[in-house]
Amino acid sequence: MQGIKIVVIGGVAAGASFAARARRLNEAAQITLIERGPEVSFANCGLPYHIGGEIPTRAALAVQTPESLSALLKLEVRTNCEAIAIDLKAKQVQVKDVVSGTLHSLPYDKLMLAPGATPIRPPLPGLEDERVFTLRNLQDMDRILAATAEGMRAVVVGAGFIGLEMTEQLHRQGLRVHLVEQQPQVLPLLDPKMAALLDSELRHHDIQLHLGDQLTRCESDAEHVRCYLDSGQVLEADLVILSVGVRPDTALAKSAGLALGTAGHILVDAYQRTSDPDIYAAGDAVETADRLFPDIPARVPMGGPANRQGRVAADHLFMPDKARPYPGSLGTGIVRAFKVVAGITGWSEKRLQAAGQAYESVTLNDSHHASYYPGAQPLTLKILWEPDSGRLLGAQVTGFEGVDKRIDVLATALAASMTIEDLCHLELAYAPPFGAAKDIVNLAGFAACNRDDGLVTHVTQLPADPRIQLIDVRGKPLAEAFPAPLAGVTNIPFPQLRAHLNQLDRNRPVITLCAFGKMSYFAARVLQQNGFKVASFSGGLKGNLDPRSPAKLPTP
Amino acid sequence: MQGIKIVVIGGVAAGASFAARARRLNEAAQITLIERGPEVSFANCGLPYHIGGEIPTRAALAVQTPESLSALLKLEVRTNCEAIAIDLKAKQVQVKDVVSGTLHSLPYDKLMLAPGATPIRPPLPGLEDERVFTLRNLQDMDRILAATAEGMRAVVVGAGFIGLEMTEQLHRQGLRVHLVEQQPQVLPLLDPKMAALLDSELRHHDIQLHLGDQLTRCESDAEHVRCYLDSGQVLEADLVILSVGVRPDTALAKSAGLALGTAGHILVDAYQRTSDPDIYAAGDAVETADRLFPDIPARVPMGGPANRQGRVAADHLFMPDKARPYPGSLGTGIVRAFKVVAGITGWSEKRLQAAGQAYESVTLNDSHHASYYPGAQPLTLKILWEPDSGRLLGAQVTGFEGVDKRIDVLATALAASMTIEDLCHLELAYAPPFGAAKDIVNLAGFAACNRDDGLVTHVTQLPADPRIQLIDVRGKPLAEAFPAPLAGVTNIPFPQLRAHLNQLDRNRPVITLCAFGKMSYFAARVLQQNGFKVASFSGGLKGNLDPRSPAKLPTP
């Protein structure tokens, strides 16, 4: 391995991580890092935050300069260099200097491909206007920044992670923002009801949402870009951000003859080896295995997997007997839009449905820390699990504080193949500012086990069936101040329920409901044991109909 | 089970939890809850925070009143009632009304003992003064509140969780506080170096620390209580808080003949059954199994375990075929003192040492979220693991933000018997405000595996051996502004190290050091591959010598 020639194509997350680990494992390797852009190892997840001014200095995003990276890792760093061909037999990369246009060849013993992914530009008329942007690198960011000013109108197309971050940051800069999303919800990775709080938060900040709608074309003149939507609406904008997803940047890999997956990603094994034994690949351009269902491919264009894949490849290259395989991706993600945070790990309900996988789910609401300690904020948590084994399949959390903590706990639980029973007995840290004696994650385990044990039947919809008795068990003042937004509901506060059983018709089914889905469960237990056919409205009003429905009256 | 008579002794965490779950499982049971005090189901973890005014209203701590609890759960709630004897054969509890003094008997089919634990009052002269307090319930809290006023002097004895919380809250009320701790560190549950940041934070707020010292007696007059310490110091105080731990309140269980553990706790099986088949016990008064070493007893007087144990007992009583055993306790805990937060889960190094268990450990420093995003705060994380299996044995975290998240992730990992390898590939949530592409928990896995793979040798002390070359690899401006607080250190900034290898003596061992322990690892890899015998100073200056040592110069 002394003097082994390594070429790394791509100098951001996966490529830089691979190069750093390779250098630590081998001081003598000749490592050349090629990057098409002028910069390496920049914080691409931070780009929207500089546009909005939350990250005030651009330099903060340049984690390393080519010079500092070279000095740290004893690398040859060649920026503005694009790899245009790989000769697998000759083991050479053909490289083009994008400034001078000159070509040269780089021989390698081992090659790392970390080309990343390119923002998708849909093939629609009018998107070539220079006021229509995508955001991938510092140069894109600079261009967007140069084009924005207070009072302008922006159209953001796509309400995924980047779209939501850009929406908030443009609003922060004083722009009026329209957000267009093809799906009928924001953050389509989430199940629809779990996106309701984000939706409400965006509207609260005067973001104009166009859901279930899509851009069909743009028309530009000197003054504006006009965005034509499928619905017939026309949005006049000073700038347009396209954030409709990314596609793997694998033209080079394809033309070299490396095996690609059905969606165009580079295929790799658990040690990040491509179909060519001397070429590794890592990051947004590759397809790995799903961590929960190893037979299903995972394409997770996120910084965490990219960094760790780069490391796995370097370990395999220099210490193959000790390298640990990449265990697959969960698809953990998180986003903040204004004060609301939403996170996901593992599979959503809609993805499980689409894949025909059997699942169960519950949705819970609780405070992010002890409710008696000031500042407690509501959280909503949904978990999904396999019916027979109880193994967790996914989780989604939304709220204001402590979302990241619950997602990380649940991502850890998913990685450990934990079950709903295991969630019951997680021993999480509790002091009043930080948690509760029974954290919402424990409560999710309890609720799931209750369901599994037949203690409760849940419904997630309120059927419009006059035969069914809908009983709202919230306290009267709360039920009057925040009435359930549907007809035919009778209010019997839970503490009075046992004394008022005769008010109910034993021959008609009952659905109990409350704000959060907790008192309705208590009520369902009482009714079930008294011979009623009863179901509890899982997730309550908050989780289903009104994401801001409170559990208590606000103190005046 | 119809009409089964259940008596619950103790109406706070474990007892109230048991009663609530029992009611949900059985509407017909006759459940009587006996509580010695005037209140039930109060938030005992919140008591210090009301004393300091952070929880402004006392009513917030009374989670349920006897009346509301009774109405919610259809219980008979008897407050101010003390159980004074249990007749196991007759299955009766003798109960004394503590107000009237009258006695009566309560028959039971099943009994739950949840008597909790009593704050220890050391048998020292002078502690009977009414200005010497312990804190267990709302009445203690009221008395302390009534005795405090701005400008007073307080002595807090014991720097555990309650002692630290009381110290902060009394300071918040404007008192001058002395904190006396027998161990040479605050928060003795932590390993000593991990307590350094807390120590520094307390001193920064003018808390007078008396470590490695202890109270020997008090003398009182009308004006003051004088606290005599072992060191000879005499502290004059207006009030004294004793927070030196708790002992299980098991006199009743003992006199009834139930089996107790060696430290006086009630022995229970995994379903919380005592030695009498009709009596369950749960909470601070019981001894369960350690979650990691099931042969070792665990005595964890915390709200989380108490609540979950109460639930397990009710499940076992009413649905024995579906009840899930209590899996044992980890001892997860967290405390905030001013701006600093410290948490622990599983075993500490000193506990492993004392038990003769083999272990390895690493200490890491990193930011609580992406360092390029404003507001990143330093975190220090220590993990411990089993040498052969790599199984995690414990973790400690200190810092300002995000401590609870890492403790909860690691508590989940411990519960899942995860290894150091598993930590490397946790896929945690990353967006700039919430984490990093490689979270400190991942980094801990990397560092532990590097050690395991022989890539690095760590030292946790800097030996005073002139033969050893101590190389500080921080940048020169930082090394000059925050010099390493020891002699004989040569500064060679890491990027210059490879060019200056000739400055070093290849025949003498090298220890590399830096602020956080990261650059020193990089340097150790360079030196090791260049033939040096080298070790990296694990945890760096921050984790060993100066808990506020920065990784960068503050921007002016």
Shortest Cα distance from A374 to chain B (angstroms)? 6
The DSSP annotation for A167-218 comes to HHHHHHTT-EEEEEESSSSSSTTS-GGGGHHHHHHHHHTT-EEEET--EEEE
Cα distance between residue B493 and residue B180, in whole Å: 42
Nearest-by-Cβ selection for B372 from A63, A370, A404: A63
Under a CB-based contact definition with an 8 Å cutoff, are residues A285 and A291 in contact?
A: no
- pLDDT for the residue A68: 92
Q: Do A26 and B334 touch (CB under 8 A)?
A: no
Q: Do A343 and B429 touch (CB under 8 A)?
A: yes
Q: What confidence tens digit (pLDDT) does each residue in A264-276 have?
A: 999 999 999 999 9
Shortest Cα distance from B251 to chain A (angstroms)? 26
As a whole number, mean pLDDT of residues B39-45 equals 89
- State the residue for tokens 């959390």: A397
pLDDT for A424 beyond 90 = yes
Cα distance between residue A106 and residue A94, in whole Å: 6
- Which is more confident, A62 or A351? A351
Q: Do B427 and A332 touch (CB under 8 A)?
A: yes
- Chain A residue numbers with beta carbons less than 8 Å from the beta carbon of B438 are 304, 307-308
Classify the C-alpha dihedral A444-A446-A451-A452 as positive or negative: positive
Q: Which residue type sits at B8?
A: V
- pLDDT for the residue B63: 82
- pLDDT for the residue A1: 66
Q: Minimal CA–CA distance to A393: which of A421, A415, A365, A364?
A: A415
Q: Which chain A residue is nearest to residue B415, measuring alpha carbons? A: A426
- Chain B residue numbers with beta carbons less than 8 Å from the beta carbon of A161 are 431
**Interface mutation vs chain B, best among A408, A451, A529, most B CBs within 10 Å:** A408
pLDDT for B556 beyond 80 = no
Sequence-distant (≥ 6) Cβ neighbours of residue B480 within 8 angstroms: none
What's chain A's Rg over C-alpha atoms? Answer: 27
Shortest Cα distance from A304 to chain B (angstroms)? 4
As a whole number, mean pLDDT of residues B419-443 equals 97
pLDDT for A284 beyond 90 = yes
- pLDDT for the residue B2: 73
- Chain A residue numbers with beta carbons less than 8 Å from the beta carbon of B522 are 24, 72
Q: What confidence tens digit (pLDDT) does each residue in B305-359 have?
A: 999 999 999 999 999 999 999 999 999 999 999 999 999 999 999 999 999 999 9
**Interface mutation vs chain A, best among B42, B302, B321, B372, most A CBs within 10 Å:** B372
Q: Which chain A residue is nearest to residue B525, measuring alpha carbons? A: A24
Percent with pLDDT over 70 in chain B: 99
Shortest Cα distance from A224 to chain B (angstroms)? 32
pLDDT for B175 beyond 80 = yes
Shortest Cα distance from A332 to chain B (angstroms)? 6
Cα distance between residue A327 and residue A473, in whole Å: 46
Helix-strand-coil percent breakdown of chain A, rounded to 5?
A: 30, 25, 45
As a whole number, mean pLDDT of residues A364-376 equals 95
Q: Do B427 and A413 touch (CB under 8 A)?
A: no
Number of C-beta neighbours around residue A454 at 10 A:
10
Q: Which chain B residue is nearest to residue A373, measuring alpha carbons? A: B55
Shortest Cα distance from B460 to chain A (angstroms)? 22
Q: Which residues of A are catalytic?
A: 45
Q: Which chain B residue is nearest to residue A21, measuring alpha carbons? A: B522
Q: Which chain A residue is nearest to residue B416, measuring alpha carbons? A: A416
Q: Do A432 and B46 touch (CB under 8 A)?
A: yes
3-state secondary structure A33-58: EECCCCCCCCCHHHHHHHHCCCCCCH
- pLDDT for the residue A485: 86
- Chain B residue numbers with beta carbons less than 8 Å from the beta carbon of A404 are 405, 429, 434-435
- Chain A residue numbers with beta carbons less than 8 Å from the beta carbon of B327 are 425
- Chain A residue numbers with beta carbons less than 8 Å from the beta carbon of B164 are none
In Å, how far are A120, A193, B103 from B82, measured between CA atoms?
71, 49, 9
Confidence of residue A30 (pLDDT cuts 50, 70, 90): very high
pLDDT for A443 beyond 80 = yes
Average pLDDT, chain B: 96
Q: Which chain A residue is nearest to residue B338, measuring alpha carbons? A: A433
As a whole number, mean pLDDT of residues B369-381 equals 96
Residue B487 is encoded by which pair of tokens? 């002699």
Nearest-by-Cβ selection for A372 from B63, B374, B442: B63
Q: Do A329 and B427 touch (CB under 8 A)?
A: yes
What is residue A396's three-state secondary structure? strand
Cα distance between residue B467 and residue B457, in whole Å: 18
Cα distance between residue A442 and residue A11, in whole Å: 42
DSSP state of B20: H
Q: Which residue type sits at A290?
A: D
What is residue B177's three-state secondary structure? strand
Q: Do A46 and B302 touch (CB under 8 A)?
A: no
How far does chain B reach from its first CA to its final CA, in angstroms? 72
- Chain B residue numbers with beta carbons less than 8 Å from the beta carbon of A69 are none
Q: What confidence tens digit (pLDDT) does each residue in A317-331 have?
A: 999 999 999 999 999
Under a CB-based contact definition with an 8 Å cutoff, are residues A139 and A228 in contact?
A: no
Q: What confidence tens digit (pLDDT) does each residue in A338-356 have?
A: 999 999 999 999 999 999 9
Cα distance between residue B301 and residue A424, in whole Å: 19
- Edge to edge, the sheet with strand B297-298 lists B266-267, B286-289, B297-298
Number of C-beta neighbours around residue B536 at 10 A:
30
What is residue A490's three-state secondary structure? strand
As a whole number, mean pLDDT of residues B477-498 equals 94
Q: Do B412 and A409 touch (CB under 8 A)?
A: yes
Q: What confidence tens digit (pLDDT) does each residue in B97-150 have?
A: 999 999 999 999 999 999 999 999 999 999 999 999 999 999 999 999 999 999
Residue A439 is encoded by which pair of tokens? 């954290």
Confidence of residue B553 (pLDDT cuts 50, 70, 90): confident
CB burial of residue A184 (10 Å; 0-12, 13-18, 19+)? exposed
pLDDT for A41 beyond 90 = no
Q: Do B426 and A409 touch (CB under 8 A)?
A: no
Cα distance between residue A201 and residue B431, in whole Å: 19
Cα distance between residue A469 and residue A490, in whole Å: 8
What's chain B's Rg over C-alpha atoms? Answer: 27
Under a CB-based contact definition with an 8 Å cutoff, are residues A292 and A131 in contact?
A: no
- Chain A residue numbers with beta carbons less than 8 Å from the beta carbon of B526 are 27
Nearest-by-Cβ selection for B422 from A370, A407, A415: A415
As a whole number, mean pLDDT of residues A116-128 equals 96
Q: Which residues of B are catalytic?
A: 45
b (16+ CB within 10 A) / e for A505-536: eeeebbbbbbbbbbbbbbbbbbbbeeebebbb
Q: Which residue type sits at A329?
A: S
The DSSP annotation for A227-241 comes to EEETTS-EEEESEEE
- Chain A residue numbers with beta carbons less than 8 Å from the beta carbon of B333 are 429, 431
Pairing, β B81-87 against β B92-97: antiparallel
Q: Do A438 and B27 touch (CB under 8 A)?
A: no
The DSSP annotation for B240-266 comes to EEE-S-EEE--HHHHHHT--B-TTSPE
Shortest Cα distance from B181 to chain A (angstroms)? 21
Q: Do B431 and A302 touch (CB under 8 A)?
A: no
As a whole number, mean pLDDT of residues B436-458 equals 97
- pLDDT for the residue B486: 86
Percent with pLDDT over 70 in chain A: 99
A-B CB pairs within 8 A amount to 255
In Å, how far are A26, A120, A311, A357, B498 from A6, measured between CA atoms?
11, 31, 15, 43, 20
- pLDDT for the residue A555: 66
How far does chain A reach from its first CA to its final CA, in angstroms? 72
Sequence-distant (≥ 6) Cβ neighbours of residue A312 within 8 angstroms: A270, A271, A272, A282, A323, A324, A325, A326
Cα distance between residue B474 and residue B461, in whole Å: 18
